[in-house]
A and B are shown apart, each in its own frame.
Chain A
Amino acid sequence: MSKCSMGLLALSSLFLSGAAIAQEKIKVGVTATLEGTYTVLGEDGMRGHQTALNVLGKKIGDKELEFIVASTDATPDSAVRAVRKLIEQDKVQILLSPLSGDEGIAVKNFAKTHPELTFINAASGAQETTYVDPAPNFFRYNMDGAQWQVGLGKYAYEDKKYRKIATVGEDYSFIYTQVFGLVLEFCGMGGQVTNRQWVPLGTKDFASVIAALPDDVDAIYLGLGGADAVNFLNQYQQAGGKAHLMGGSIMIDQTILSSKGNAKNALIGTIAASGQADTWEDPGWQKFVKAYQDAFPPNKRFPSPSLLATNYYDSTMALILALRQVNGDLSNNQAKFKEALAKIELDAPNGKIKLDSNRQAIGTNFVTEVVDDGKGALFSKVVKVIPNVNQTLGYDPAVFSKIGLPSRTVPECKKY
């Protein structure tokens, strides 16, 4: 019952930062979804952030980083409120924010009103954030939702021989982007997406949604996260559902795979794609997993870091490394720091990351399959690793711009 790890984490980071008073401080504001449907995601994001601080330290030359955490609930207005509070009340100079898709779009727009500050995206993955009218002071070191689905449509079509699928997703920008990536590739191969259902973020009662799932499809794609995903699986089990499943990046993730109860077992064998895979053998990844596991006692963390922990780790890493490159120089509206951020190439645990001209990550993607480790714990196993995935998903930018922005009905199911 006493899982108050988050409060402790937030507090401890405050205490730690309060320990050394004499030095000059660089104030960084961090937001995470510590309330609402995505609470668990926000908590693990903060664990990833803390892991990065453990590994890299908080010293920038003779200065020291100070982090101030603010909570959001995945809605855009909560994110803007938190960011505004951090800037106006706490006087932070750099922001590590936000976590969720709609928040990202709002914070990006807000970033334009503070061109003197620097915004580093923590984990949000809507396409629009960096693709449409990007803010010059907003940097994103994680891929967007569509990039995270690269490889899934092909694997489903070629290896699993799925021809017709239906999707269920939360009704907001990140999941639109995920479905966008999936549909583009799956329909490009010749597959059909017969039905797209959208449910409001924070839906508790999925029974009618489950009843409305079509029977005549080979698989059902789930673009849900956090409490929504667990509720769905629980009720799916109660309704006796047995379809093949495919998963989005935050559906097949330790936030869900290590949830309590046995409803998650419906996910065994589910194929998915994401910016990481739990069982990847790369030494950099294994080192990160070890650092994450060592940083927290087993009951205060997941068996393996979630996508959110990895994203927060990567963005914190970019922040610290770029600051060190310029030796903490934030003069002249942080010009040097921004330049360093734009140029930096991260040797991140989940593969190499560099930024494009929109300051959007080009990185590595993973197709995975959920396996049982024999002791009841579920992990995502690597099926395929795809390096150098860019935001236009390998399409010619002119063609890509014709597809339109991800929404409930875009893209159409056809070959572009």
Chain B
Amino acid sequence: MSRFVERHPAWALISIIAIAIMLWLIFATWPPGLEQAVGRKRVFLNAVFNGITLGGLYFLVASGFTLIFGLMRNVNLAHGSLYLFGGYVGYAISASTGSWVLSFIAAFILTALVGVLLQVIVFRRMEGQDLRQTMVTIGLSIVFADLMLWACGGDFYQIQTPNWLIGPVELPLITAIKSSGEPVYLRYPSVRLVIFAASVVIGVAMWLALNRTRIGMIIRAGVDDRDILAATGVRIQLVFVLVFAFGAGLAGIAGVVGGTFQSLSPGEDIRFLLASLVVVIVGGMGSIPGAALGALIIGLAEQLGSVYIPTYAIVVTFLIMVLVLAIRPQGLLAGR
């Protein structure tokens, strides 16, 4: 951090000012002039929170994607299918048992298994052949999409939110002051907060696992040079399978999350594949903090865009991607 400030004092200043303005916008009571210019604070705060929670969901999908890419250089374009598959599994479990938590566990395990199969049957056979892998995964994603359409139909499914999470909670953030002087607090859907908290926990746990544990060390070494790592006697194929399973499992969990606060239907696989591609391109291929930053930026851009410039909201995310590719093609937080 301090190195960044020393090397780019101007950028550091700009980002500090931007963060300060953002914090002021979130915590201060807006003066009437500002409310008139940009609309009510409640709308802004909601958009920011929605952006952050949506970013949480994008992070869950994209972190698995980027982890797999970072270690194995596999561009797994069937990642979106794993997301949708996890969602359908989660729906089936939650509809039959009524347990939301159980649906996460089942979705994680089953999608991880599919991930293992993918790695063992497909990727191991074509190691190092990027183009072939890309083509095969595109093909697989089409096959998976049709299989799921066959099994589950074109209907949209929604995973039932557990009762204790339905409805809003009041946050200690003032959105307005009533004429009586009584402050109005922000009311926000609790399920989204829980989901966001969960994705932060998963993100931090992943970061700790990668940076503080032995297996994390092996994975990081594999990212840097897997041939040397294999030469030191590490069973690299086993590591590959584990990482692939974990990345796929994360996509499965994300499917349950997406099915809870949005919905599951054919086409979602492509949407989330595209979202995670954009996220990792913005954040930097192979970097977990990059995925987190990219997800946050894309989530915020989508939500603020949909409120303040609804007509062009769809373009905003791609504009960001184009900008990043033009200025910093390796991604914002790419390691190398």
- Using a CB–CB distance below 8 Å, which chain A residues touch chain B? 1-7, 34-37, 39-40, 42-43, 73, 171, 197-200, 202-205, 207-212, 226-227, 230-231, 234-235, 237-240, 259-261, 263
Contacts and interface: CB of A to CB of B under 8 A. Distances in A.
A235 B261 contact: yes
Contacts of B168: 238-240
Contact of A204 (B92, B190, B263, B311): B263
Given A2-B153, A204-B271, 4 more contacts: A43-B155, A210-B46, A211-B50, A234-B261
Nearest to B258: A204
Contacts of A238: 161, 166-168, 189-192, 261
A208 B47 contact: yes
Contacts of A211: 42-43, 45-47, 50, 307
Contact of A212 (B160, B189, B307): B307
B265 interface: yes
Interface in B191-223: 191-192
Using C-beta atoms within 8 Å of the partner chain, give the interface range for chain B: 35 or more
A345 to B, nearest CB: 35
B59 interface: no
A368 to B, nearest CB: 24
B36 to A, nearest CB: 15
Contacts of B188: 239
B152 A3 contact: yes
Contacts of B154: 6, 34-35, 39-40, 42-43
A378 B59 CA distance: 38
Given A207-B189, A227-B265, A235-B261, A1 B46 contact: no
Contacts of B231: none
Contacts of A207: 46, 49-50, 53, 189, 192, 303
Nearest to B188: A239
B262 A208 contact: no
Given A240-B187, A261-B160, A2 B50 contact: no
Contacts of A6: 153-154
A205 B50 contact: yes
A2 to B, nearest CB: 7
Given A199-B310, A208-B50, A239-B168, A227 B152 contact: no
Contact of B46 (A34, A204, A208, A263): A208
27 contacts: A1-B91, A2-B152, A2-B153, A3-B152, A7-B150, A36-B266, A37-B265, A40-B155, A43-B154, A171-B310, A200-B314, A202-B267, A205-B54, A205-B262, A205-B302, A205-B303, A211-B42, A211-B50, A212-B307, A226-B156, A227-B263, A235-B189, A237-B167, A238-B166, A238-B189, A238-B192, A240-B187
B185 interface: no
B158 to A, nearest CB: 5
Contact of A5 (B153, B303, B314): B153
Contacts of B43: 208, 211-212
A198 B312 CA distance: 12
Q: Which of B88, B192, B262, B313 is the most central at the interface, judged by chain A CB atoms within 10 Å of its CB?
A: B262
Interface of B is mostly: helix
A263 to B, nearest CB: 8
B156 A39 contact: yes
A3 B314 contact: no
A275 B155 CA distance: 24
A46 to B, nearest CB: 11
Nearest to A37: B265
Contact of B155 (A3, A199, A203, A235): A3
Q: Which of B92, B187, B304, B310 is the most central at the interface, judged by chain A CB atoms within 10 Å of its CB?
A: B310
A1 B152 contact: yes
Contacts of A73: 267
B151 interface: yes
B192 A230 contact: no
Interface of B: 39, 42-43, 45-47, 49-50, 53-54, 88, 91-92, 149-158, 160-161, 166-168, 187-192, 261-263, 265-268, 271, 302-304, 306-307, 310-311, 313-314
A73 B153 CA distance: 14
B47 A230 contact: no
A155 to B, nearest CB: 29
Contacts of A227: 156, 263, 265
A61 B239 CA distance: 70
A35 B267 contact: yes
A200 B315 CA distance: 12
A230 B166 contact: no
A231 B258 CA distance: 11
B158 A230 contact: yes
Nearest to B313: A200
Nearest to B42: A211
A244 to B, nearest CB: 19
Nearest to A233: B158
A15 to B, nearest CB: 17
Nearest to A204: B262
Contacts of A237: 166-167
Q: Which 7 residue pairs spanning A and B have beta carbons closest together?
A: A211-B46, A39-B154, A3-B153, A238-B189, A240-B168, A207-B50, A204-B262
A1 B156 contact: no
Contacts of B160: 261
A4 B314 contact: no
Contacts of B166: 237-238
Q: Which of B149, B190, B263 is the most central at the interface, judged by chain A CB atoms within 10 Å of its CB?
A: B263
Nearest to A214: B40
A230 B156 contact: yes
A40 B156 CA distance: 8
Nearest to B175: A211
Contacts of A197: 310
B314 to A, nearest CB: 6
Contacts of B47: 208, 211-212
A149 B303 CA distance: 31
Nearest to A7: B150
Nearest to B169: A240
Contacts of B167: 237-238, 240
Contacts of A260: 157-158
Contacts of A210: 46
Given A1-B88, A39-B156, A240-B168, A208 B267 contact: no
B156 A4 contact: no
